[in-house]
């Protein structure tokens, strides 16, 4: 997936938000639902539960389209967080603790440069992940697919997160400054 | 506030939070710290992006033939998400912690555990426990080591141990190697959120008796 593809997914989410566009939703469903189902099975769900939860995750995507911020995450990231949260919520009594919402809420119209930069950074992160030495990449996959506890994860993950983190941090700092 | 925090979450803890493999007690400490720390919030988003990329490039499993239609029916039955609850006025305790306490600091049900220290154990599932601790200024928490990981987040006041000073927003992530003796700074009560994987091991006889009685 390249930056153009990522921007396309952002457009599909915006089409749902703005026009309740079902063909946009169909495109998202066709791409992400099978990935979500595979993720749920890999992290321990039985296939029939994975099917049910996947449909629920995709429905959530529709309902929360207005809350997606493309300046902060790619659509893949957003879908991942919805699937991860649902996976935890079905096992626990309480919902997964989440950080307090930022005081300004999702912006009405994120800065176009922010969106492009973030999607590009995510693209680079994906490429860097795939070029990690096998041993490191396997470790990261094990961590995310639930096979490692935090004490089993080495301090040096080798993940090249510096630039994407800085970009997000810059955007946060700017928004806080604008709020004053 | 965010600029004064010097002690942050480790990569290992943030990856596990992002992956959803932390016990609930540690999830709560992470969510509470991130509410106060923009640096760790940005790092959290970066780790979520890793999850997104792994999802993107991992396998696919086919859905049932009528899955899309079934999903549309779910949407028809409930087209929008319930609105989020209104933001509470800012206080000492960030929102994720207020959910477990049932309010801000005034709602905490403190119990005395000896030596001037009070605590309030919070109700979570899983292997790790989490509590609020209140240590009067100048008082030391009795000597204790622990097996497994312990996370201590300062919410009010400050404490110092052999490593450094920890003020509001600072989080100490300690492993079994650390046998430490935090001392609260003189001044307002030091209030911390402390999660631990294993029961604390107190070194002296009296604290051990207290431990049995108070289920620390």
Which ipTM score applies to this complex? 0.94
Contact B170, B5 (CB under 8 A): yes
**Residue B123: both structure tokens together:** 């109700």
Percentage of residues of chain A with pLDDT beyond 70: 96
Q: Which of B18, B28, B62, B63 to probe the A interface (max A CBs under 10 A)?
A: B63
Q: For residue A123, report the phi and psi dihedrals to the nearest 5 degrees.
A: -60, -45
- Confidence check: pLDDT of A1 > 60: yes
Which residues 147-166 of chain A have a CB within 8 Å of chain B? 148-151, 153-155, 157, 159, 161, 164-166
CA distances from B91 to A175, B137, B191 (A): 21, 21, 13
Q: CA of A124: which chain B residue's CA is closest?
A: B53
Q: Which residue has the higher pLDDT, B85 or A43?
A: A43
Which residues 99-118 of chain B have a CB within 8 Å of chain A? 99-100
Q: CA of A79: which chain B residue's CA is closest?
A: B52
Q: pLDDT digit string (tens) for A102-113? A: 877 666 677 888
Which residues 41-70 of chain B have a CB within 8 Å of chain A? 41-64, 67-68, 70
Q: Which of B12, B75, B96 shows the shortest C-beta gap to A153?
A: B12
Q: CA of A104: which chain B residue's CA is closest?
A: B87
All residue ranges of chain B with pLDDT < 70 are 1-3, 141-147, 176-179, 198-216
Percentage of residues of chain B with pLDDT beyond 90: 67
Instruction: Show residues of chain A in contact with B78, CB under 8 Å.
Output: 59, 63
**Residue B174: both structure tokens together:** 């300690």
Q: Is B128 an 8 Å CB contact of chain A?
A: no
Q: Is A46 exposed, middle or buried (0-12, 13-18, 19+ CB in 10 A)?
A: exposed
In this prediction, residues A47-64 reach a mean pLDDT of: 97
d(C-alpha A100, C-alpha B15), whole Å? 19
Other Cβ atoms less than 10 A from the Cβ of A109: the count is 7
- pLDDT at residue A108, as a whole number: 60
Q: Tell me the whole-structure pTM to 2 decimals.
A: 0.91
DSSP string, B18-78: HHT-S-HHHHHHHHHHHHH-HHHHHHHHHHHHHHHHHHHHS---PPPTTHHHHHHHHHHH-
Q: CA of B43: which chain A residue's CA is closest?
A: A165
Q: Which of A29, A62, A164 shows the shortest C-beta gap to B46?
A: A164
Contact B10, B173 (CB under 8 A): yes
Q: Is B32 an 8 Å CB contact of chain A?
A: yes
Contact A32, B71 (CB under 8 A): no
CB contact under 8 A, B22 and A150: yes
Shortest CA distance to B181 belongs to which of B128, B127, B130, B117? Answer: B117
Largest CA distance in chain A: 50
Instruction: Show residues of chain B in contact with A173, CB under 8 Å.
Output: 38
A14: confidence class by pLDDT, cuts 50, 70, 90:
very high
- DSSP-assigned beta bridge partners for residue B130: B195
User: What order do you get walking across the sheet with B183-184 strand by strand?
Assistant: B165-166, B159-160, B183-184
**Residue A89: both structure tokens together:** 């919520």
Beta strand ranges found along chain B (DSSP E)? 111-114, 117-121, 129-135, 144-145, 150-156, 159-160, 165-166, 171-174, 183-184, 190-196, 201-202
CB contact under 8 A, A126 and B57: yes
Which residues 106-135 of chain A have a CB within 8 Å of chain B? 122, 125-126, 129-130
Note the residue count of chain A.
Answer: 180
Reduced 3-state DSSP string for A96-152:
CCCCCCCCCCCCCCCCHHHHHHHHHHHHHHHHHHHCCCHHHHHHHHHHHCCCCCHHH
Spans of all domains in chain B: 1-216
Q: pLDDT digit string (tens) for B81-112? A: 888 777 778 899 999 999 999 999 999 999 99
Instruction: Show residues of chain B in contact with A81, CB under 8 Å.
Output: 48, 51-52
**Residue A118: both structure tokens together:** 């973030």
Q: Which of B10, B20, B75 shows the shortest C-beta gap to A59?
A: B75
- pLDDT at residue B179, as a whole number: 67
Shortest CA distance to A78 belongs to which of A169, A127, A142, A17? Answer: A17
CA distances from A144 to A30, B26, B47 (A): 23, 17, 10
Q: Which CATH superfamily is domain B1-216 in?
A: Jelly Rolls (2.60.120.10)
Reduced 3-state DSSP string for A10-44:
HHHHHHHHHHCCHHHHHHHHHHHHHHHHHHHHHCC
CB contact under 8 A, B49 and A99: no
- pLDDT at residue A103, as a whole number: 78
CB contact under 8 A, A80 and B54: yes
Instruction: Show residues of chain A in contact with B13, CB under 8 Å.
Output: 150
Q: Is B169 an 8 Å CB contact of chain A?
A: no
Give B110→chain A minimum CA distance, Å.
22
- pLDDT at residue B114, as a whole number: 86
Q: For residue B55, report the phi and psi dihedrals to the nearest 5 degrees.
A: -60, -45
């Amino acid at each position: 997936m390249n930056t153009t593809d990522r921007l396309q997914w952002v457009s599909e989410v915006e089409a749902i938000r703005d026009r309740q566009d079902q063909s946009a939703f169909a495109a998202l469903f066709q791409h992400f639902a099978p990935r979500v189902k595979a993720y749920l099975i890999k992290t321990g769900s039985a296939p029939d539960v994975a099917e049910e939860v996947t449909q629920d995750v995709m429905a959530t995507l529709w309902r929360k389209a207005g809350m997606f911020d493309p300046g902060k995450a790619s659509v893949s990231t957003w879908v991942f967080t919805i699937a991860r949260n649902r996976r935890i919520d079905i096992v626990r009594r309480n919902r997964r603790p989440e950080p307090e919402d930022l005081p300004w809420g999702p912006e009405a119209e994120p800065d176009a440069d922010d969106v492009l930069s973030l999607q590009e950074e995510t693209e680079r992160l994906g490429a860097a992940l795939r070029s990690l030495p096998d041993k490191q990449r396997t470790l990261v996959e094990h961590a995310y697919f639930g096979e490692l506890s935090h004490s089993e994860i080495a301090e040096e993950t080798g993940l090249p997160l510096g630039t994407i983190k800085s970009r997000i941090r810059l955007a946060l700092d700017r928004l806080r400054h604008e709020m004053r | 506030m965010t600029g004064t925090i010097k002690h942050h979450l480790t990569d290992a803890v943030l990856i596990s939070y992002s992956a959803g493999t932390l016990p609930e007690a540690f999830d709560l400490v992470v969510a509470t710290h991130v509410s106060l720390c923009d640096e760790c919030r940005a790092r959290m988003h970066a780790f979520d992006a890793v999850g997104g990329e792994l999802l993107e490039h991992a396998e696919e499993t086919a859905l049932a033939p009528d899955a899309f239609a079934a999903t549309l029916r779910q949407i028809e039955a409930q087209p929008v998400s319930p609105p989020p609850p209104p933001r509470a006025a800012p206080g000492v305790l960030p929102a994720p912690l207020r959910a477990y306490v049932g309010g801000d600091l005034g709602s905490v049900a403190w119990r005395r555990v000896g030596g001037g220290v009070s605590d309030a154990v919070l109700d979570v599932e899983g292997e790790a426990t989490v509590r609020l601790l209140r240590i009067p200024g100048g008082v030391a928490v009795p000597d204790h080591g622990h097996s497994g990981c312990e996370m201590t987040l300062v919410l009010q006041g400050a404490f110092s141990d052999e490593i450094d000073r920890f003020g509001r927003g600072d989080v100490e992530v300690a492993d079994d190697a650390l046998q430490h003796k935090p001392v609260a700074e003189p001044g307002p009560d030091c209030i911390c959120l402390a999660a631990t994987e294993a029961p604390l091991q107190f070194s002296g006889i009296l604290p051990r008796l207290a431990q049995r009685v108070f289920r620390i």
